[in-house]
A and B are shown apart, each in its own frame.
Chain A
Amino acid sequence: GENVEQHPSTLSVQEGDSAVIKCTYSDSASNYFPWYKQELGKRPQLIIDIRSNVGEKKDQRIAVTLNKTAKHFSLHITETQPEDSAVYFCAARSNDYKLSFGAGTTVTVRA
């Protein structure tokens, strides 16, 4: 099955700086890569996703890049704000339509 690795496990950034989270996947058939944000005590929520026929996608301060050859994808958050503090999960989906998740990255934005 699919194996998704996520790094780093924790990330502390100064407010206004950028944050980057990286994930790798093992199944070359994977074709859909969503990112979820989970605030403390709340449910994970989809914040951005990318499909395998696209290399980059941007939505305001967040962007995701995908390198299919290297089998890795990344989340970029620019101009970080305190409300960006949360746990972020990457995931990958292959032909069996299940999502496999990374272990999560705890992002702390320092004021």
Chain B
Amino acid sequence: DVKVTQSSRYLVKRTGEKVFLECVQDMDHENMFWYRQDPGLGLRLIYFSYDVKMKEKGDIPEGYSVSREKKERFSLILESASTNQTSMYLCASSPIHRGPFYGYTFGSGTRLTVV
């Protein structure tokens, strides 16, 4: 069974802090994604990666960056946290960039509160 693990379930950070959200998957998936989930807005893509050291902006990348130094790990970085980044953050992974169309496997999410 594929596992996508997010390092923290709940985080409280102060405005201006640099925040790291970690995601690790154990099934050798090529693709990894970071979404934020807000009521009434669904899931919005922040950044994604198809390979190690590769990253592409999603729909709402402003205020975020990412790092993928190893295939299994995809980190989301809030350079200077702001209150409007208070949200649920979901990491997801999927196999194979091209080929069969597989859905994502999601992590349990990190609920971040910026005060």
Tell me the complex Cα distance, A42–B58, Å.
24
Whether the pair A49, B103 counts as a contact (CB closer than 8 A) is yes
Contact B42 A44, beta carbon cutoff 8 Å: no
Determine if B58 and A32 form an interchain contact, defined as CB atoms under 8 angstroms apart.
Answer: no
Query: Do the beta carbons of A6 and B31 come within 8 Å of each other?
Result: no
Q: How far is the CB of A62 from chain B (nearest CB, A)?
A: 14
Say whether A101 contacts B107, CB under 8 Å. no
Contact check, A44 vs B90: say whether CB atoms are below 8 A apart: yes
**A99 to B33 Cα, complex, angstroms:** 10
Q: Which residues of B contact A51 (CB under 8 A)?
A: 101
The answer to whether A97 touches B98, judged by C-beta atoms less than 8 angstroms apart, is: yes
Contact B42 A102, beta carbon cutoff 8 Å: yes
B residues 25-52 touching A (CB-CB < 8 Å): 31, 33, 35, 40-45, 48, 50
A-B pairs with lowest CB-CB distance, top 3: A32-B101, A103-B42, A34-B103
